[in-house]
């Protein structure tokens, strides 16, 4: 049984704010309550609120207007999808490299582990937290297969951001089922050791991630969910 560490207060605050944004309580373009008000609202210290807002700013979900306050970003056009869209592009490029170089390096043990993470994703399909955890393990295994420590380090540094992205994506109707199918396709392609099939499956999966992020942004802009 894998033990998952309880998130920090800042992460919990961050998740609550995102839930409020998705529910339309903090609409796109609106000004958030002050740090003091948010701290009181969530029953935490101001330092936790500040840390949460900093992470949300990194994700491109909120923006800080100095001397005015923090606002929920508008996502009215493709160019306003925020820093996460660029992070998605970087991850795609890295995983395409991983597929290109790793498919021939994958040992039987590598394929067994990849299949194991896929199995646990399917087993815990209805538990968002565990599903996201095993999704992360699956993708990190793809980087491990390259035997390139720099690649592994880069992807490791992006894990927190991608966990937050995955949480948002899992709230979309049909997105988890799509992700599950795409992960199965990636695994099956690795088993064939057909580089073209692996690259096709990886790119299709990242198309799905980007399409999901665009939908999240549009839903937030419209004040809707799902």
- Per-residue pLDDT at 61: 77
**How sure is the predictor about 94, in pLDDT bands with cuts at 50, 70 and 90?**
very high
Kindly tell me if the per-residue pLDDT of 223 is higher than 60.
no
Contacts of 97 (CB under 8 A, 6+ apart): 146, 151
More confident residue, 183 or 4: 183
More confident residue, 66 or 106: 106
**How sure is the predictor about 4, in pLDDT bands with cuts at 50, 70 and 90?**
very low
- Per-residue pLDDT at 186: 97
Can you tell me the mean pLDDT for 131-151?
A: 95
- Per-residue pLDDT at 226: 52
Note the pTM of the prediction, 2 decimals.
0.69
Q: Which domains does the chain have, with CATH numbers?
A: 9-74 (1.10.10.10), 82-222 (1.20.120.530)
Kindly tell me if the per-residue pLDDT of 79 is higher than 50.
no
| pLDDT tens profile 43-68 | 989 998 998 898 888 767 788 888 88
CA 216 to CA 75: how far, in whole Å? 9
Kindly tell me if the per-residue pLDDT of 14 is higher than 90.
no
Can you tell me the mean pLDDT for 126-152?
A: 94
Cβ contacts of 110-119, under 8 Å, gap ≥ 24: 110/141, 110/144, 110/145, 111/190, 111/191, 113/141, 114/138, 114/141, 114/142, 114/145, 114/187, 114/190, 115/187, 117/141, 118/183, 118/184, 118/187
């Amino acid at each position: 049984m894998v033990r998952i560490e309880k998130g920090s207060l800042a992460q919990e605050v961050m998740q609550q704010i995102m839930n409020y944004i998705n529910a339309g309580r903090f609409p796109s373009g609106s000004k958030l309550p002050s740090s003091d008000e948010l701290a009181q609202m969530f029953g935490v210290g101001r330092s936790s609120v500040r840390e949460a807002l900093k992470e949300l700013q990194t994700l491109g979900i909120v923006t800080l207007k100095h001397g005015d306050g923090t606002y929920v970003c508008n996502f009215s056009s493709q160019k306003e999808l925020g820093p996460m869209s660029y992070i998605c592009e970087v991850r795609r490029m890295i995983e395409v490299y991983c597929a290109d170089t790793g498919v021939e390096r994958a040992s039987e043990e590598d394929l067994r582990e990849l299949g194991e993470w896929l199995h646990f994703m399917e087993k815990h399909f209805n538990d968002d937290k565990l599903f996201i955890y095993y999704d992360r393990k699956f993708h990190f295994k793809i980087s491990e297969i390259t035997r390139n420590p720099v690649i592994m380090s880069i992807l490791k540094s992006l894990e927190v951001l991608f966990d937050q992205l995955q949480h948002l994506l899992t709230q979309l109707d049909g997105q988890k089922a799509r992700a599950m199918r795409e992960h199965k396709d990636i695994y099956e392609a690795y088993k064939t050791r057909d580089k073209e099939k692996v690259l096709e499956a990886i790119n299709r999966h990242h198309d799905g991630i980007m399409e999901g992020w665009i939908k999240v942004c549009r839903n937030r802009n419209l004040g809707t969910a799902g």
